[in-house]
Amino acid sequence: MTIIDGKQLSETIKLEIAQEVAAIKAAGGKIPHLAAVLVGENPASQAYVGSKVRSCEQVGFQSTLVKRDASISEQELLSIVDELNQDPSVDGFIVQLPLPGHIDENKVILAIDPRKDVDGFHPVNFGRMAQGMPSFVSATPYGILQMLERYNIPTDGKHCVVVGRSNIVGTPISILLSRKAKVGNCTVTLTHSRTKDLPAETRRADILIAAIGIPEFVKGDWVKEGVVVIDVGINRIEDPASKKGYRLVGDVDFEQVAPKSSYITPVPGGVGLMTVTSLLMNTLKAAKKEIYP
Ligand code: GUN
């Protein structure tokens, strides 16, 4: 069993990005600039955005954090999006989700200029991704592809079972892995809350991707020997023994599943760190105008 070390892999990729940034700087070019919009006080969102801003500093990017109270109106938020769309100094930006209930997330996503949509959430990027055209691929699926590629895990002809059909992870990764591509050519089963006999489906997986947001949901007897497990879940569970009062666990019961796996991602230290790194990769692509020349 090999643990896919998201921390080490993300450090390697960040070093590669930092070297490119240093070269751009040395040549007198413009330093890539990522902006993040954070609305409200959701602790997980604050932690994610904090990590994104810190990672920008690590690789030498410029970063801007736009922080607003949860009471912001939809119109005000749309104005901020428009300003970022127009600002030539900003190469890419994200609006951290979820947004407060009175704001229509789809409206906000649609307002983002696809050329600056480094989250890959805009339907133009999603559609381009689905058709195999150059696009910003959303950070978590992109991070998963990087993990499979850099650990040389074969995907060709494998049966991949994805648990969870979210717009951000389950649906895009199922499309990406089924596509004719270097990391792809899987036969994909996309499962969800209405799937009948889920353990029977997951037991057929050569590659299992768990992205449902339920702590330790996938059990040991749900997988076959030798499975490759990508655990996307980051769930807080109460833990009085911890200083913070909680600890992080994935969507997979690691203790039960790891002994049967050929490869597995841990939580924390797995997919989560790769997600932030993928966002940096997309921002570099935006700055270099690789997707939209
Ligand atoms: N909320 C949870 N994951 C993400 C993400 O990747 N991007 C944004 N903008 N919001 C999120």
| 283, containing H or E segment | helix 271-287
State the virtual CA torsion across 50, 51, 52, 53 in degrees, nearest 10: 50
pLDDT band at 39 (very low <50, low <70, confident <90, very high): very high
DSSP-derived secondary structure for 168-182: TTHHHHHHHHHSSSS
pLDDT at 189: 99
Mean pLDDT, the chain, as a whole number? 97
pLDDT at 261: 98
Residue nearest to atom 7 of ligand 1 (CA): 96
What tens digit of pLDDT does each residue of 198-215 get? 999 999 999 999 999 999
Which pLDDT value is given to residue 101? 98
Q: Is the peptide bond before 32 cis (omega within 30 degrees of 0)?
A: no
45 domain residue, yes or no: yes
- 145 confidence band (pLDDT: 50, 70, 90): very high
Q: Which residues pair with 264 in a beta bridge?
A: 3, 229
Indicate whether 192 and 226 sit together in one domain: yes
The CA 224 to ligand 1 mean position distance, Å, reads 31
Query: What is the pLDDT, as a whole number, of residue 165?
Result: 98
| Cα 168 to ligand 1 centroid, rounded to whole Å | 8
Taking only the tens place, the pLDDT of each residue in 57-114 is 999 999 999 999 999 999 999 999 999 999 999 999 999 999 999 999 999 999 999 9
Residue that has been written with the tokens 């970063």 in this structure: 63
What is the domain-level CATH number for residue 239?
A: 3.40.50.720
Question: How many structural domains comprise the chain?
Answer: 2
Residue 65: per-residue pLDDT: 98
Instruction: State residue 223's pLDDT score.
Output: 98
Structural domain span for residue 49: 27-113
pLDDT tens-digit readout, 216-246: 999 999 999 999 999 999 999 999 999 999 9
**180 Cβ partners below 8 Å, 6+ apart?**
132
Distance between Cα 197 and ligand 1 center (Å): 30
Kindly report the CA angle at 71 between 169 and 98, in degrees rounded to 5? 5
Q: What is the pLDDT of residues 242-272, one digit of tens each?
A: 999 999 999 999 999 999 999 999 999 999 9
Long-range contacts of residues 118-126, Cβ cutoff 8 Å, at least 24 apart: 118/34, 118/91, 118/92, 118/93, 118/94, 118/279, 118/282, 118/283, 118/285, 118/286, 119/94, 119/95, 119/279, 119/282, 120/172, 120/282, 121/167, 121/168, 126/167, 126/172
With a 6 A CB cut-off, is 80 part of the ligand 1 pocket? Answer: no
- 219 and 208 in contact (C-beta within 8 Å)? no
Q: Which atom of ligand 1 is nearest to the CA of 97?
A: 10
- From 113, 147, 162, the end of a domain falls on 113
CA distances from 137 to 95, 97, 101, 242 (A): 16, 17, 26, 36
pLDDT at 194 (0 to 100):
98
The answer on 260 and 165 residing in a single domain is yes
Let me know whether 259 and 146 are in one domain.
Answer: yes
Catalytic residue list contains 146: no
261 close to ligand 1 (CB < 6 Angstrom): no
pLDDT at 74: 98
69 is catalytic: no
97 pocket-lining for ligand 1 (C-beta < 6 Å): yes
Q: Give a yes or no: residue 162 inside a domain.
A: yes
Q: What is the pLDDT of residue 281?
A: 98
Whether the Cβ atoms of residue 211 and residue 143 lie closer than 8 Å to each other: no
